């Protein structure tokens, strides 16, 4: 009898500011690719650590998975946070492990939940959302 895998493939997404990450999980040798580049070559190093966080927390459970992440929009850290959320959601969905989801929530809620914060719109009589032009009288 052939042993059936839990899920042959899982697709998840994550968002942060204007960055959107889409992750695809397949059975494999435990490789992680971000925009067709191995995670080990991802720069800056702090962004790499941020992306690796859910994989480190999952430990041995994530060893047999190949992860391909496509990230677009935003800056370096926004992309890293979006990829991190997509990877954490994919691990929970692929492994169907509620204990893993609870561990992620206790460690950092943004592992499983998109960050809803957005910038305020620019307003009239000002150079931005909050700053106003100074009055020359008074």
Sorted by where each begins, the domain ranges of the chain are 10-107
pLDDT in tens, 58-74: 888 888 889 999 999 99
Going by pLDDT thresholds of 50, 70 and 90, the confidence category of residue 6 is low
Omega before residue 121 within 30° of 0, cis: no
Q: Please give the model's pTM, rounded to 2 decimal places.
A: 0.82
What is 10-107's CATH topology?
Ribosomal Protein S5; domain 2 (3.30.230)
Contacting residues for 93 by C-beta, under 8 A, at least 6 apart = 7, 10, 12, 25
Mean pLDDT of 89-104: 89
For residue 28 the two structure tokens come to 């494999």
Q: What is the pLDDT of residue 64?
A: 84
């Amino acid at each position: 009898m052939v042993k059936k895998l839990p899920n042959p493939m899982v697709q998840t997404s994550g968002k942060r500011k204007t960055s959107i990450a889409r992750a695809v999980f397949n059975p494999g040798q435990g490789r992680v690719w971000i925009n067709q580049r191995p995670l080990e070559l991802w720069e800056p190093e702090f962004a790499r650590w941020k992306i690796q966080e859910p994989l480190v927390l999952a430990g041995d459970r994530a060893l047999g998975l190949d992860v391909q992440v496509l990230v677009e929009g935003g800056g370096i850290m926004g992309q890293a946070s979006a990829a991190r959320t997509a990877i954490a959601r994919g691990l929970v969905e692929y492994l169907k492990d509620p204990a893993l989801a609870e561990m992620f929530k206790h460690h950092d809620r943004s592992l499983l939940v998109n960050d809803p914060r957005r910038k305020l719109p620019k307003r009239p009589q000002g150079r931005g959302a909050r700053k106003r032009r100074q009055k020359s009288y008074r």
